Amino acid sequence: MENNEKFSLSIEHFQTWIVIKIQGYLDAHTSPILENTISDAIKNDENQIIVDFEHLDYISSAGFGVFMEFIEEVREKEGDIVLVKMSDKIHKLFELLGFTYLFKIYTTISEIK
């Protein structure tokens, strides 16, 4: 219950993409929620995944791990995980970790082709 208060997500669709909007705190306790959502999407053959960071307040190392877990698999299936609307602070973290070399990061969804 507490986890759900700390973190929540909603799902939308954009063209051929599934858009997962995440909100709140993404850490070791809440990351399984996102993990399950992405893994369900892949099971349903939805391999083009956008994760919307607009309302994400915090991400821990375990949160970063979720994206690493699936990136290889979706790319093998000719899909991708694209990250959008990241705050400067979170973007800085991605940069520090070198994740910017691994993921496509856009400021808006419309930039995605």
* Footprint on this chain of another protein (rule: CB under 8 A): 28, 60-62, 64-66, 68-69, 72, 96-99, 101-102
Cα 48 from Cα 45, distance rounded (Å): 9
Q: Between 12 and 72, whose beta carbon lies closer to another protein?
A: 72
CB of 19 to another protein, least distance (A): 22
Q: Between 11 and 28, whose beta carbon lies closer to another protein?
A: 28
DSSP 103: S
Cα 31 from Cα 12, distance rounded (Å): 19
DSSP 41: H
CB of 60 to another protein, least distance (A): 8
CB of 25 to another protein, least distance (A): 11
Q: Between 11 and 97, whose beta carbon lies closer to another protein?
A: 97
Q: Which residue has the tokens 């850490």?
A: 27
